[in-house]
């Protein structure tokens, strides 16, 4: 009887904690309560391990000290007002500024990389031309052809006196960290670090969630060039999940004042993992490039306010007047994002969403398809990319506003991952991204309402059941 009473007290306390937890999405709250009541022992243990987005008190205190050491992000940008931007872009930039503190900065230019291999070749060329420092941060770095190319370039740069700092996620790049290449890079003078080290899992849970990840992809060279997009440091063949290959990514090579914002994001991440002050490298301002365009880094993560990334996506969707094209490999949206896409189509915006036909996560793939009926009913064009896993994360509004970076439209990107994106306003750059999106559309099949209506009962039951727990995936 004592054990039964204790069991119910523990379950009741867990449910009470779920109901009282601040900043909890109602759907996520409902999913956790359902799991805890349906399978109490598993549910309580799962909630203790994964139920709360906590980065730990010590880490939070360290991040606050780092923020005090680094130059104020709000002082980075020159005055970008009165540069002929769209009035609605000002509102979007204010949303971005409220998230990571960066004001929009004018005078930026970019080149869209042709493909993943061309991106790596360009990064290697920039590293070979570096004279001061090279900063790299990747969620996944693979010891394959492209990964080895970048490593070799770093070692060459380090040996000629360039300060090279390379950072990876402890889980995403665990194979590299354990490889001989990692040791060789360190011996060659490359400064290395891993983000959010897991260590002993049993002890790690007392210092924040074990599955918090740094999902960013940042390259900064000599404080004058940055790369932003979806690509990890790997071949398109992506040996970890080769059966879904090729992985199709997108990257921009950017010059201009926004590079300083990317530098600050990297510096904060590096200083969290390594006891080294990089504030001097962040301080120098970068002059705007003539005829460049305004841009802003939007960096999100568990230490930023709740729902920051969903607010950015929702704001962009509601800003659309004529056309909105979205690509993402993982679609597990908040209710607000799903409603915003449907509302855009209902008000006459030509909305196209492009997902991979085969997803490397069967749960995310099923959850994504559970939303198809609602999207199609509102007039959204749903496409499934066929040649490989479409990994690009892009959103283009009316051919003149774009968001590109590492964030997916799923709960992991919203709540658990540290992400890095750039919001920009420029017709020429947006045209390049739209042309790339059109190549995706050309190689994608259109999903029809009739096809969705014909899905079997077991298929629909599976999709909707998985979607119920989608908020906690």
User: Could you say which of 90, 128, 211, 222 is catalytic?
Assistant: 222
* pLDDT at site 204: 57
- Split at pLDDT 50, 70, 90, the class of 5 is confident
pLDDT, one tens digit per residue, over 315-335 is: 999 999 999 999 999 999 999
Once rounded to an integer, what is the mean pLDDT over residues 329-358? 96
Once rounded to an integer, what is the mean pLDDT over residues 431-447? 98
* 267 shares a domain with 229: yes
- Split at pLDDT 50, 70, 90, the class of 472 is low
- Split at pLDDT 50, 70, 90, the class of 84 is very low
Per-residue pLDDT for 205 more than 70? no
pLDDT, one tens digit per residue, over 246-296 is: 999 999 999 999 999 999 999 999 999 999 999 999 988 889 999 999 999
* pLDDT at site 39: 79
Cis peptide leading into residue 246 (ω within 30°): yes
Q: Is residue 420 part of a domain?
A: yes
* pLDDT at site 441: 98
Once rounded to an integer, what is the mean pLDDT over residues 446-472? 88
Task: Count up the domains in the chain and report the number.
Answer: 3
Clarify whether 23 is annotated catalytic: no
User: Could you say which of 393, 410, 415, 426 is catalytic?
Assistant: 393
Residue 358: both structure tokens together: 């085969």
* pLDDT at site 60: 76
- Please report, for the domain that includes residue 462, its CATH number: 3.30.870.10
Q: Is residue 174 part of a domain?
A: yes
Once rounded to an integer, what is the mean pLDDT over residues 360-365? 91
Per-residue pLDDT for 414 more than 70? yes
Clarify whether 391 is annotated catalytic: yes
* 63 shares a domain with 34: no
Once rounded to an integer, what is the mean pLDDT over residues 176-204? 87
* pLDDT at site 302: 86
How far apart, in Å, do the first and last CA atoms of the chain sit? 35
* 467 shares a domain with 386: yes
* 108 shares a domain with 44: no
* 112 shares a domain with 236: yes
Q: Is residue 142 part of a domain?
A: yes
Once rounded to an integer, what is the mean pLDDT over residues 361-370? 93
Q: Is residue 96 part of a domain?
A: no
Per-residue pLDDT for 361 more than 60? yes
* pLDDT at site 82: 47
Q: Which of 362, 337, 363 is nearest to 351 (CA)?
A: 337
* 245 shares a domain with 131: yes
Clarify whether 149 is annotated catalytic: no
Which of 189-193, 363-367, 394-398 comes out lowest in average pLDDT? 363-367
Q: Is residue 97 part of a domain?
A: no
Per-residue pLDDT for 1 more than 60? yes
User: Could you say which of 133, 217, 410, 415 is catalytic?
Assistant: 217
pLDDT, one tens digit per residue, over 117-156 is: 999 999 999 999 999 999 999 999 999 999 999 999 999 9
Hey, is 218 helix, strand or coil? Answer: strand
Clarify whether 144 is annotated catalytic: no
* 164 shares a domain with 74: yes
User: Could you say which of 25, 126, 169, 398 is catalytic?
Assistant: 398
**How do 323-327 and 133-138 pair as beta strands?**
unpaired
* 212 shares a domain with 230: yes
Clarify whether 72 is annotated catalytic: no
Report the mean per-residue pLDDT for the chain: 90
* pLDDT at site 132: 96
Clarify whether 135 is annotated catalytic: no
pLDDT, one tens digit per residue, over 17-73 is: 878 877 667 777 777 787 888 777 777 777 776 776 766 677 778 878 888 888 877
Which one is predicted more confidently, 322 or 242? 322
Q: 331 lies in which domain range?
A: 308-472
């Amino acid at each position: 009887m004592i054990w039964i009473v204790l069991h119910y007290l523990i379950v009741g306390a867990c449910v009470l904690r779920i109901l009282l937890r601040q900043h909890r999405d109602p759907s996520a709250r409902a999913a956790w309560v359902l799991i805890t009541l349906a399978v109490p022992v598993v549910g309580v243990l799962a909630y203790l391990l994964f139920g709360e987005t906590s980065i730990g008190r010590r880490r939070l205190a360290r991040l606050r000290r780092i923020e005090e050491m680094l130059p104020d992000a709000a002082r980075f940008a020159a005055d970008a007002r009165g540069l002929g931007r769209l009035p609605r872009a000002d509102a979007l930039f204010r949303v971005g500024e409220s998230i990571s503190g960066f004001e929009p900065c004018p005078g930026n230019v970019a080149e869209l990389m042709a493909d993943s291999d061309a991106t790596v070749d360009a990064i290697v060329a920039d590293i070979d031309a570096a004279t001061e420092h090279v900063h790299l941060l990747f969620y996944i770095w693979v010891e394959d052809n492209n990964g080895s190319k970048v490593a070799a370039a770093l070692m060459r740069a380090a040996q000629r006196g360039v300060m090279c700092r390379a950072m990876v996620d402890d889980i995403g790049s665990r194979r590299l960290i354990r490889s001989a290449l990692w040791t060789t890079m360190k011996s060659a003078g490359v400064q290395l670090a891993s983000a959010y080290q897991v260590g002993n899992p049993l002890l790690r849970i007392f210092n924040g969630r074990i599955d918090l990840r740094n999902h960013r992809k940042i390259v900064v060279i000599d404080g004058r060039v940055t790369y932003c997009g979806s690509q990890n440091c790997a071949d398109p063949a992506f040996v970890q999940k080769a059966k879904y290959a090729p992985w199709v990514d997108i990257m921009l090579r950017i010059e201009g004042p926004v590079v300083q914002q990317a530098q600050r994001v990297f510096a904060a991440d590096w200083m969290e993992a390594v006891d080294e002050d990089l504030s001097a490298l962040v301080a120098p301002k970068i002059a705007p490039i003539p005829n460049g365009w305004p841009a802003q880094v939007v960096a999100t993560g568990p230490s930023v306010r709740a729902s920051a990334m969903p607010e950015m996506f929702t704001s962009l969707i509601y800003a659309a007047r004529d056309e909105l094209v979205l690509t993402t490999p993982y679609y597990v949206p908040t209710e607000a994002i799903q409603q915003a896409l449907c509302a855009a189509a209902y008000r006459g915006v030509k909305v196209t969403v492009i997902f991979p036909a085969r997803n490397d996560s069967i749960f995310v793939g099923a959850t994504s398809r559970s939303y198809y009926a609602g999207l199609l009913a509102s007039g959204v064009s749903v496409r499934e990319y066929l040649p490989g896993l479409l990994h690009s994360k892009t959103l283009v509004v009316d051919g003149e506003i774009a968001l590109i970076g590492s964030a997916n439209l799923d709960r992991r990107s919203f709540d658990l991952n540290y992400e890095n994106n750039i919001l920009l306003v420029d017709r020429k750059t947006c045209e390049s991204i739209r042309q790339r999106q059109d190549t995706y559309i050309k190689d994608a099949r259109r999903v029809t309402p009739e096809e969705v209506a014909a899905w079997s009962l077991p298929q629909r039951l599976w999709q909707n059941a998985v979607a119920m727990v989608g908020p906690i995936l």
